[in-house]
Amino acid sequence: MSKVEPAGAENLWNENPNPLYTEEDIGSTRLHSSFRAELRPNFSEKEYNKFVRLNTVRDWSLLTWDDVGKPYEVKKFSRDRLEWEEQEGKDMDPHTSWQFFNKAFHEWFVKDVPAELDKSKKQFMRSLKQFKPGEIKSALGDMVRIHLWNYAHRIEDGIWDPRGKRALFEGLDVEKPKILFLGAAEGYEAMQLAAMYPGAEVVLVDYDEYCKTTRFEEFPDSYPFLGENPATGQPKVYYKDDFQIEYVVEDIRNLTYGKEFDIVLSVGLLEHFPDDYKPEVVDWHRRFLKPGGYAIFTTPRNQVRSRLYYHIMADVMNHTYRELMTVEQMGLYIYENGFDILQHGYIKVHNGVVARER
């Protein structure tokens, strides 16, 4: 049985601790060994049409569950979860499942992908020579997963998707906003928002301590976020250390903030709760929001390539209950639970909604 190990001291992610990019690099993109640096401000029109679809529903009050159907539930769990449940003789609780998930997911973010591609190919060739079907199957699985990760995260940048996220986050009427990120993990999207809306005060909340000590702490200092220079209105490159961030390790249900945030955000949270719990999760986004503030939600899309991704990457991703949904389904959960939808759409692999309390 694998265990959740404490955070390692070595940061494998920062291949160069010094900022590599300046405003002169705006307009360019570059592949690093574990991620893509993306400083192209916008998609070309062709790319935009391929990757971004915004505001397709005119009147949310006319949509019904009969029209939109229910989300698709991912039923294949990770080996770690199944082994844990067999050993413990009970279902894995959500907090433990998130600890497993965060550890497994982080291990992929820090991979030196070109080196791992090479290693997996050599391992596969070796297994072929040995003629052991079990080893061939395992080496083939490893090779498929690292190729898929390279494509989805590093080449396509589908997980962070900075250009898609910027399209979704654009045009908010806020100045030096207070931003609350619920279930923040490494905090990526709040940092992207802080770059776009300078002077932001960010609070990241996650009840898995590993997210603070490792996923966030080890997030590369050299990753460039494209945002705005408040003095000139021109594009500017920001780094993690430029932002004012507080990381709170706590269950969202125990937070005691008042209605003090301009933006409350979650990325990949709503789909981890069955329908009975969704009103409560939507309410978490309202509870701490200033009147007129923005709630932002994203969830993974229900598309064939995503179903395939969660099937192939089950051991990395599937420790928790998970649904894949359409933006109409996601918007309807949010609309039904007291929000007006201001902006909705889908970007590379997620749906996104920007909403305001009704």
Give me the least distance between CB of 348 and ligand SAM, in Å please. Answer: 14
**Binding site residues, ligand SAM, CB under 6 A:** 98, 102, 105, 183, 185, 205-208, 211, 251-253, 267-269
> For ligand SAM, which is the closer residue by CB, 252 or 264?
252
Q: Which class for 192: exposed (0-12), middle (13-18), buried (19 or more C-beta within 10 A)?
A: buried
> In the bound complex, what is the minimum distance in angstroms from residue 175's beta carbon to ligand SAM?
26
Residue ranges of the alpha helices (H) in 71-172? 79-88, 94-109, 113-130, 133-149, 162-169
CB of 269 to ligand SAM, least distance (A): 5
Comparing every residue's Cβ against ligand SAM, the nearest one is: 183
Rounded CA gap, 180 and 198, in Å? 15
Question: Cβ closer to ligand SAM: 75 or 95?
Answer: 95
User: Which residue, 143 or 182, has its beta carbon nearer to ligand SAM?
Assistant: 182
Closer CB to ligand SAM, 102 or 214, in the complex = 102
Q: Provide the pairing of β-strand 261-267 with 36-38.
A: unpaired
Nearer to ligand SAM, 124 or 223 (CB): 223
Q: How far apart, in Å, do the first and last CA atoms of the chain sit?
A: 48
- Largest Cα–Cα separation, the chain: 66
When the beta carbons of 106 and 178 are compared against ligand SAM, the nearer one is 106
Q: How far is the CB of 207 from ligand SAM (least distance, A)?
A: 4
What type of residue sits at position 253?
R
Residue 30 tokens, joined: 């570059």
d(CA 243, CA 216): 13
Residue closer to ligand SAM by CB (options 75, 137) is: 75
CB of 112 to ligand SAM, least distance (A): 19
Closest CA to 228 of 201, 200, 196: 196
Q: What angle do CA 71, 77, 79 make, to 5 degrees?
A: 170
List phi, psi (to 5°) of 249. Answer: -90, 105
Q: Closest distance between ligand SAM and the C-beta of residue 252, in Å?
A: 4
CB of 308 to ligand SAM, least distance (A): 19
Cβ neighbours of 253 (radius 10 Å): 8
